[in-house]
Amino acid sequence: MRDYSDDVLSGDWRAAGRTVSADVHAVIDLVVELPGGDSADNAAGFVGAVVHVDAGNVHLEDRHGRVRVFPLGAGFLVEGRPVRLIAPSAPVASTGRARTASGSFAVADARARVARASRIWVEGKHDAELVEQVWGDDLRIEGVVVEQLEGVDHLAELLVDFAPSPGRRVGVLVDHWVPGSKEVRLVEQAIARVDARHVLAIGHPFIDIWQAVRPAAVGIAAWPDVPRGQDWKTGTCRALGWPHETAADRAAAWRRIRGSVRGYADLDPALLGRVEQLIDFVTAE
């Protein structure tokens, strides 16, 4: 027994060989990094300074002045060490510069830029309205036009007609972007018919863009589960006790949902990152 300590279970044996993330307050000007590697929204390797914290999110600004929003928590590096960002004990003061609804810095007296040849395509009217409501100021400054697809079923023929090329890029925002879905299959087939270097198709995991709005913003506990085979919007309105029988009822429900959105903090980060990535793609020189 001389080869063993008095208590072989003493100490934190579960943590042996495991990296532990320290808690760090997300204070203004703290520089943090997202570790490199594969990432669905190209956030890996992003380095930025904290400029704002609210609603469980941290706003990071990179050296080019671009601001991205990430959920507080683990997955960050500070000076190469893994950390878990937590909200400061005292409210974080704003940098004082006005911001747009998307969280980017507002440009005073900015005039809309002449539209670029590149485009962002979204699936439907509600998607376009929500993107305009939150990112409209940014899109006008960048000269980016958002157009409706009315679903991805006709994406292939639209891409062929558009003929993507350098300076004429297409970014596509797709609903229900999950492995093995019909949407993913249709998009892959469509992109295969054109020069894929000039097309970026990404999406959010939600069945419908309604779900990208945080439930708390709408005043509900959670988005309801709607059985397969039911129209999702109709089933959602029914489960929430809202009028649902007519198209006018569903349109009123969308106005109620969209009216609850004041800015990016009212949207799920899964949508925020995707839209920012599409804007970066179609505006790249």
What's the CATH code of the domain at 24? 2.30.30
For the stretch 129-169, pLDDT in tens is 999 999 998 899 899 999 999 889 999 999 999 999 999 99
Same domain, 52 and 189: no
268 & 127 share domain: yes
Which residues constitute the domain of residue 178?
Answer: 119-213+261-283
**Looking at the domain assignment, is residue 59 inside a domain?**
yes
Q: In this structure, are 266 and 182 located in the same domain?
A: yes
Kindly tell me if the per-residue pLDDT of 67 is higher than 60: yes
Confidence band of 9 (pLDDT split at 50, 70, 90): very low
Position 95 scores a pLDDT of 53
- pLDDT, greater one: 123 or 48: 123
Q: Residue 80 domain-assigned?
A: yes
Percentage with pLDDT > 70 across the chain: 84
Under 8 Å between Cβ of 118 and 170: yes
Are 79 and 126 found together in one domain? no
- Pair (38, 176) in one structural domain: no
- Are 280 and 43 in contact by the 8 Å Cβ rule? The answer is no
Query: Which residues pair with residue 74 across a beta bridge?
Result: 84
pTM above 0.85, yes or no: no
Write down which residue in 41, 65, 86 finishes a domain.
86
Contact 279, 139 (CB under 8 A): yes
Give the pLDDT mean for 102-123.
Answer: 81
Q: Are residues 265 and 126 in the same domain?
A: yes
Residues 163 and 272 reside in one and the same domain: yes
Contact predicate 115/73, CB 8 Å: no
Does 223 map to a domain? no
Tell me which DSSP letter residue 213 carries: B
> Is the pLDDT at 58 greater than 60, yes or no?
yes
Task: Tell me 264's DSSP state.
Answer: G
Domain membership of residue 100 (yes or no) is: no
Is 52 part of any domain? Answer: yes
Instruction: Return the bridge partners of 67, or none.
Output: 61
State residue 12's pLDDT score: 47
* Pair (265, 183) in one structural domain: yes
Does residue 106 lie in a domain region?
no
Range from 45-59, 108-122, 224-238 that averages highest in pLDDT: 224-238
Q: How many domains does the chain have?
A: 2
Q: Which stretches within the chain are classed as H helix?
A: 125-142, 155-162, 182-191, 215-218, 232-240, 247-259, 269-283
Q: How confident is the model at residue 14 (pLDDT cuts 50, 70, 90)?
A: very low
Please state the rounded mean pLDDT for residues 83-110. 72
Indicate if 64 and 186 belong to the same structural domain.
no
Distance CA(256)–CA(220), nearest Å, equals 12
Size of the chain in residues = 285
State which of 65, 86, 107 marks the end of a domain. 86
Confidence tier at 94 by pLDDT (50, 70, 90):
low
CATH number for the domain that contains residue 165? 3.40.1360
Instruction: Tell me the two tokens of residue 276.
Output: 């920012």
Picking from 63, 86, 109, the residue at the C-terminal end of a domain is: 86
Mean pLDDT of 174-203: 93
Query: Is residue 133 domain-shared with residue 268, that is, in the same domain?
Result: yes
CA distance linking residue 112 with residue 123, whole number of Å: 24
